[in-house]
Amino acid sequence: MAVSLGLEDVFIKYTGLTFIDGNAGVLRYRGYDINDLVQNTGFEEVCYLMTNGELPNSQQLAEFKKSVKEHYKLPDHVMELISDLPREADTLTMMETAFASLSSGDYQWNKENDRKQVPKILGENLGIISNIYRHKMGMGLQNPDPKYDYAEAFLRNCFGNADEKKISAMNAALVIYVDHEVPASTTAALVASSTLSDMYSCITAATAALKGPLHGGAAEAAYKQLLDIGNVDNVENWFKTNILDGKRRLMGFGHRVYRTYDPRMKIFKKLATTLEQTDEQKKLFEIAVKLEELGVKEFGGKGIYPNTDYYSGIVFNEIGFPIYMFTTLFGFSRVLGWLSHITEYVEEEERLIRPRAVYTGPDKRDFVKMQDRK
């Protein structure tokens, strides 16, 4: 009996959320190309689109934004919990802990309730992630200002202010990372939701999966790789020594689905050039471009190209975030994708996810008492 390790090419649900053509490098949310959405929408519009299936009109968008902003303020116990966590703790662990603390055992799934929960959780999500950053930086915790839209409110709560270019880049990053079908974290959320567990517990399960280095952490690894190279003049020698001769993995390259350029990577690469760069950031970008050229030349024929995480760390750092926040910023955006998938699954095709395993152990054996064992 054949087993598909890693559930590769196993379809576990029908979805109207995200379309991927890995050979052509196409990504669409609800039928809209990722490039069009990044260029023409705010994150809240995409939230409404993913939740309701259509882009909102002005009144619908205003009402949705209002619902989200009403929940920027976190419950006192969540603020106290974050502030009590060790500052040296991993930021995804903090995120996981905060969402688990919001879990409610009396949640009942139904379409009306689900639609109300999504903007509530998105608002709380902003409060959680921005205050995790504040806690890590040794700043006092504070609730985001509801007079600002999502990306701006987030950056202002993290840094105190934000210019238009950084707000635009943060908005784009949020849209880019919203969803990508059913990777490991989304699958974990779906498994939890199939038991009819509450939304917060599903997000907690997804975040636990995201913590693993084979899923989350790619942006951090790709960025650290650039730091390791150090200078654009070192790229060719580093590539030969570490990748060609040393057989190390080129971080930020390759994807389970894409066999060409990841369209999200192209957007992040362009974003990196629109933000003001320090001399160090300019150097890292030049290293990344040169390394990309060598990587594509060597591996492109095998369908291995840069993925979305290759340049995203550069963008996050240019916005102002340290390396330890990169994967949590991925999760900050992906909460919307997790919510969209679990509501779609429970509302349209709910069935307990219970796969099987192929037994490879011994045949029936007679029990041997302790005194008779060798």
Helices first, then strands: H and E counts in the chain: 16, 3
- Asked if residues 263 and 35 have their Cβ atoms less than 8 Å apart, the reply is yes
The number of distinct structural domains making up the chain is 2
Q: Is residue 362 part of a domain?
A: no
Q: Tell me the pairing of strands 26-29 and 18-21.
A: antiparallel
Nearest-CA neighbor of 49 among 340, 359, 361?
A: 340
Same domain, 122 and 54: yes
Mean pLDDT (whole number) for 323-340: 98
Mean pLDDT (whole number) for 64-70: 98
As given in the structure block, the two tokens for residue 112 are 């009306």
Same domain, 307 and 174: no
Same domain, 261 and 192: no
Catalytic hit among 309, 341, 363, 366: 309
Same domain, 20 and 95: yes
Q: Is residue 251 part of a domain?
A: yes
Q: Is residue 184 part of a domain?
A: yes
Residue 107 pLDDT grade (very low, low, confident, very high; cuts 50, 70, 90): confident
Nearest-CA neighbor of 61 among 49, 77, 75, 79?
A: 49
> For the segment 340-358, what is each residue's pLDDT rounded down to a tens digit?
999 999 999 989 999 999 9
As given in the structure block, the two tokens for residue 359 are 């037994």
- Asked if residues 341 and 179 have their Cβ atoms less than 8 Å apart, the reply is yes
| 106: pLDDT strictly greater than 80 | no
The chain-wide mean pLDDT, for the chain, equals 96
CATH number, residue 267: 1.10.230.10
Q: Is residue 373 part of a domain?
A: no
| 105: pLDDT strictly greater than 80 | no
As given in the structure block, the two tokens for residue 118 are 């999504």
Total-model pTM: 0.96
Q: Is residue 357 part of a domain?
A: no
Known catalytic residue at 309: yes
Question: Beta-carbon neighbour count of residue 259 at 10 Å?
Answer: 16
Mean pLDDT (whole number) for 277-298: 97
| 283: pLDDT strictly greater than 80 | yes
Known catalytic residue at 255: yes
- Asked if residues 176 and 268 have their Cβ atoms less than 8 Å apart, the reply is yes
Same domain, 77 and 163: yes
> For the segment 164-220, what is each residue's pLDDT rounded down to a tens digit?
999 999 999 999 999 999 999 999 999 999 999 999 999 999 999 999 888 888 899
Q: Is residue 83 part of a domain?
A: yes
Domain extent, residue 161, equals: 15-210+328-349
Predicted pLDDT of residue 8: 85
Catalytic hit among 255, 262, 279, 372: 255
Same domain, 192 and 250: no
Mean pLDDT (whole number) for 81-95: 97
29 in helix, strand or coil? strand
